[in-house]
A = this chain, B = another copy of it.
Amino acid sequence: MRSETEIIERLRAITKLPEGSRVTLGIGDDCAIYSPEGSLEDLLFTIDLFIEGVHFLRETHEAAQIGRNALARSLSDVAAMGGLPRFCLVSLCVPTWAESRWATDFFDSLGALAASTGTVVIGGDLSRSEKCICDVMVCGAVPRGKALRRDGAKAHDAIYVSGNLGGSAQGLESRKGEAWQRHLNPEPRLGLGVFLRDHLRATAAIDISDGLSLDLRRLCLASDLAAEISDPPRFPGATVERALHGGEEYELLFTVRPGVEPPESFEGVPLTRIGTIIEGPAGEVRHNGSVLPPMGFDHFRK
């Protein structure tokens, strides 16, 4: 099977933004942007699959964790653009192995996260299949023209990351302790996204869903620049390797202009400078002086 990148290229090929379509950003960022006529807001759109056997296992994830995660992934994309969620649509294939309480637990948990983040569940689709498949579309909003994008980083910008990395990958391996809880219960950084947009005026942002090395590469590719980083802050017990390449973190990676000094933490989550945007081959990430291969998760590569 081809790599995800090749198939995305095909998807990109059918994506043209015609004049007057009011789609102001198409494929290639955490969310696409639609600018309704006459409105003061831009609307952000993202959709994320969450699939048994690919993103989680039946044996390790209860219905409530599946429901919460299915929504959290898309909320994290909205956070990365500096938006606040407005509503969501939920497609669910109820697995044939599900017991009678399963759907109740799934929707109650998803609904609780939706309610606590101001996300209105406005519809969805249901089917059944052997495996559990979730697909959640979230619409968020930002003031017109204010979305944080991947392509805005400039040379000499400082690179920051929220939280401590590698915990999710560590937990997936050990299946115990705080690292495992971290993997099971990701927290979309919605408040932080708004803070980056309004107070730090971040130049670019992305959420770390596929690993720092791959997601930083994406930010650099979009901005047509390179990056130089040192070791990122690590989750207790996680290796440097896991912090650099582990996915499913849902922390925010962002850049700010030189001279902007983020606080040490925001709402209890540390904000750590890990490097600098530099002139160089587009997408190249240098780690402690050597080129870092992008080893994050690509569903199609294996």
**Which of A's residues lie within 8 Å of B, judged by CB?**
1-2, 4, 7-8, 10-11, 13-18, 21-23, 26-27, 31-32, 34, 36-41, 43, 45-49, 51, 53-55, 86-87, 89-91, 93-94, 96, 98, 100, 103-104, 107-108, 110-111, 114-115, 120-131, 133, 135, 137, 139, 299-300
Contact = CB atoms under 8 A, between A and B. Distances in A.
A108 B14 contact: yes
Contacts of A48: 91, 125
A137 B107 CA distance: 20
A208 B104 CA distance: 29
Nearest to A119: B21
Nearest to A122: B32
A137 B14 contact: no
A111 B27 CA distance: 14
Contacts of A115: 14, 16
Contact of A21 (B86, B91, B137): B86
For this chain, the copies found in one complex come to 2
Given A45-B123, A47-B125, A103 B38 contact: no
Nearest to A125: B49
Contacts of A299: 126-128
Given A26-B122, A94-B1, A34 B127 contact: no
Nearest to A47: B89
5 contacts: A1-B98, A1-B128, A11-B107, A39-B39, A47-B125
B93 A7 contact: no
A47 B91 contact: yes
Contacts of A122: 15, 23, 26-27, 32, 34, 45
Contacts of A86: 21-23, 34
B51 A123 contact: no
